[in-house]
Amino acid sequence: MSGILNSSIGRKFAMALSALFLMVFLLQHFVINILSVFSPDTFNEASHFMGTFWAVQYLLQPVLIFGVVFHFVMGFVLEIKNNKARRVSYAKSNGGANSSWMSRNMLLTGAVVLAFMVLHFIDFWIPEINIKYIQGDMSGLMDPNVADSGFRYYEELVHKFENPIRVAAYCLSFVLLSLHLLHGFSSAFQSVGANNKYTKGLKGFSKVYAIGLPLGFVFIALFHHLNH
């Protein structure tokens, strides 16, 4: 593993794999969250399953946390090395003329997305862990009329989106996530060697994903803010 990460190609390949893994998770996260708009009960049931099923909690969750940390650490490492490599070429030519704003600012958008994830963990993941593993309540779906009776997924989601400042922060973060994905999605496929007859289709799908998914999350936040 260390040998692979010591090479530039190896680091890009590992970065791409972690990116694709996180994109799959992001899609799954959206599918569950959009249920809160159409069916609170179904959203609660899906969230309860994901929050209590042993394979998700003890296998997938640690892998996800590792994937998040690895992706962002590797992103910073690659950006630092790329910036050093660009200094010579920038002295000879206009480096920005041959690259998009998204590609030149992946570190910035990535840092904002990371800050958003910290906020998201504080809002949802840490309270859930506290109730399930510290307080010892694994029920999740309890009577909302009983104080401190458990982590009520839908009620907690709606409560978090009451604050307009928090909603604005979420929406801004998803806009920057979209910019991050617009470059990162296609770049990830290139890094794993997916340049073939399906490249044009992948580019089209990457744009739909990079714009549509963040807009979907923005819609969820605004929907709950404006309707409760």
Closest CA to 204 of 182, 177, 179: 182
φ/ψ of 197, rounded to 5, equals -65, -15
Which pair of structure tokens corresponds to residue 37?
Answer: 């708009």
How far is residue 192's CA from residue 17's CA, in Å, rounded to a whole number? 8
pLDDT at 168: 94
How far is residue 38's CA from residue 43's CA, in Å, rounded to a whole number? 9
The four Cα atoms 206, 210, 211, 215 give a dihedral, to 10 degrees, of 140
pLDDT at 87: 58
Four-residue CA torsion sign, 193, 24, 182, 75: negative
Q: Show pLDDT as tens, one digit a residue, over the chain (228 residues).
A: 555 566 677 777 888 888 888 899 999 999 999 999 999 989 988 988 888 888 988 899 899 889 888 888 888 887 777 666 665 555 455 555 556 666 677 777 788 888 888 888 888 888 888 877 777 766 655 555 555 555 578 888 998 899 999 999 999 989 988 988 887 777 777 766 666 555 677 778 888 999 999 999 999 999 999 997
pLDDT at 78: 78
Helices (H), ranges, the chain: 2-5, 8-38, 40-52, 54-55, 61-92, 101-104, 106-120, 126-129, 153-160, 164-191, 199-227
pTM higher than 0.75, yes or no?
Answer: yes
- How many independent structural domains does the chain possess? 1
Residue 60's domain comprises: 2-227
